[in-house]
Chain A
Amino acid sequence: MDDVDIALFDYDRYNTLYYFLMNADEQIYMRYGGRGPMSPISYLDLSSLEAALEQGLDLHQQYQKGELAKAGRPQPLFPRDIPAVFEGTTQKGRCVECHLIGDLQNVQRQRDGKLDRLAHMYRSPDIKTIGIDLDIPKGLVIAEARAEAQAAGMKPGDRMTHLNGARVWTFGDLQYQYDKVGRDAKQIRITVERKGDSVDLPITLPDYWWWTDLTYRQLSVEPRIYFKSRPLGKAEKRRHGLNPRGFASQVTAVEGFADILKLHQLKPGDIVFGVDGVERDDIANTAELFIKLHKNAGDTFMLDLLRDGKRTKMEVKTTSVAYRK
């Protein structure tokens, strides 16, 4: 990838397979790819690929006839232009792998104080979170609309055509545009085609719409803590005498790595209600999320917790994981 213009060919590098349909002037017509949180192939389908290719050919013909506006091109950016990427790959004689670019770009952002964890760590939000289930072989046709999507008026059979005004032809296009939505956004506008008409649907975004499972990502900047937790309800917090607005959360699972790497001694059932004395946060609703948003990989800190009804403290270390280091 060392000679690839990663500004032009911008995509979530944690996709295993990704396509661009473009022309010799390097104008991109559409993307094909994208993934769900559980599988790299959730949204890949040969019927939808064939339909995308057909559409791409139509767009190419329009371009050749001068009927398609020429798109602007971003300032070129090559992996070697990013110091952390260069140091972690080319300088060490290693290949400039897609995942390493994603990984080391975040390292560079962290060095520069420009890391936005909600946007750069929690990439490619899941559209299912807002209730959109696709009829995958048909591309952007809705199979089922639930939750916020249904409340906005989305219906099975609708075909999504725009997100916040940007044309989307494929799931790859949709996920790319959705990922660009500011994490503080409260609403998005999805336009659908319904029986020949174009219908705008303002969809209210729920809290944590941007949250994604980071398990499959190997982000150096993510502090790995190897436990899962669930947020406590207000009544539960009051019952335990905890701050009702705090991020107190109950540990639901602990991975073996925590013990192997001697990171902490948490166990399921523990209630974590503070991190270095902090008990509430504007964003985090669990101690687990608070740590991921506010601590750096490698940090050591103290947890305040309830174990068997008794308050205690516990030291926790975090670790970082990077792709093929």
Chain B
Amino acid sequence: MGHVVGLRRVPSLRHVVQVRHVLFVLAACFVLSSSIPLLAQSDEISWFTNYDEAIREAKRTGKPIFLEFRCES
């Protein structure tokens, strides 16, 4: 999980997202640990957890989708 924590701390990713308006989608891989909602709150990234909703939003806005599969090993 260290790499996920790292993602939360780095502003460059947030910068790219905000400036470029990439639509972020979180696909529930299997475990939605508590760190994901925290990621969304602390970095103000809107993650979708419903794939169909994300597709609809991407169609509506014309934005690409950044899809995450996240598993524990």
Q: Does A99 lie within 8 Å of B64, measured CB to CB?
A: no
B37-52 with Cβ < 8 A to chain A:
51
Bound complex: CA A34 to CA B27 (Å): 18
Q: Does A57 lie within 8 Å of B67, measured CB to CB?
A: no
Distance between A325 CB and nearest chain B CB, rounded to angstroms: 15
Distance between B24 CB and nearest chain A CB, rounded to angstroms: 10
Nearest chain A residue, comparing its CB with the CB of B61: A24
Distance between A300 CB and nearest chain B CB, rounded to angstroms: 30
Q: Does B71 lie within 8 Å of A99, measured CB to CB?
A: yes
Bound complex: CA A177 to CA B13 (Å): 26
A3-17 with Cβ < 8 A to chain B:
3-4, 9, 11, 13-17
A43-77 with Cβ < 8 A to chain B:
44, 46-47, 49-50, 53-54, 56-57, 60, 64
Contacts of B63 in A (CB 8 A): 60
Number of interface residues of B (CB under 8 A): 33
Number of interface residues of A (CB under 8 A): 38
Distance between B20 CB and nearest chain A CB, rounded to angstroms: 5
Residue among A57, A96, A97 making CB contact with B20, cutoff 8 Å = A57
Given contacts A16-B73, A24-B58, A60-B64, A53 and B16 within 8 Å (CB-CB): yes
Contacts of B30 in A (CB 8 A): 1, 95-98
Determine whether A19 belongs to the interface, using a CB cutoff of 8 Å to chain B: yes
Distance between B58 CB and nearest chain A CB, rounded to angstroms: 4
Nearest chain B residue, comparing its CB with the CB of A97: B30
Nearest chain A residue, comparing its CB with the CB of B67: A20
Q: Does A16 lie within 8 Å of B72, measured CB to CB?
A: yes
Q: Does B67 lie within 8 Å of A22, measured CB to CB?
A: yes
Q: Does A98 lie within 8 Å of B12, measured CB to CB?
A: no
Contacts of A13 in B (CB 8 A): 71
Given contacts A17-B68, A50-B12, A50-B13, A44 and B3 within 8 Å (CB-CB): yes
Bound complex: CA A60 to CA B64 (Å): 7
Q: Does A17 lie within 8 Å of B69, measured CB to CB?
A: yes
Q: Does A23 lie within 8 Å of B64, measured CB to CB?
A: yes
Given contacts A46-B7, A97-B30, A24 and B65 within 8 Å (CB-CB): yes
Residue among B2, B12, B62, B69 making CB contact with A19, cutoff 8 Å = B69
Given contacts A13-B71, A46-B6, A98-B30, A21 and B65 within 8 Å (CB-CB): yes
Contacts of B71 in A (CB 8 A): 13, 15-17, 97-99
Contacts of A46 in B (CB 8 A): 6-7, 10, 12-13
Bound complex: CA A43 to CA B71 (Å): 16
Bound complex: CA A96 to CA B71 (Å): 11
Contacts of A4 in B (CB 8 A): 27, 51
Leading 4 A-B pairs by shortest Cβ distance:
A24-B58, A97-B30, A98-B71, A60-B64
25 contacts between A and B (CB under 8 A): A1-B30, A4-B27, A9-B69, A11-B69, A17-B3, A19-B66, A20-B66, A20-B69, A22-B64, A22-B67, A23-B64, A24-B59, A46-B10, A50-B13, A53-B20, A53-B66, A54-B20, A57-B22, A64-B62, A95-B31, A97-B29, A97-B31, A98-B30, A98-B69, A98-B71
Q: Which residues of A contact B (CB under 8 A)?
A: 1, 3-4, 9, 11, 13-24, 26, 29, 40-41, 44, 46-47, 49-50, 53-54, 56-57, 60, 64, 95-99, 216
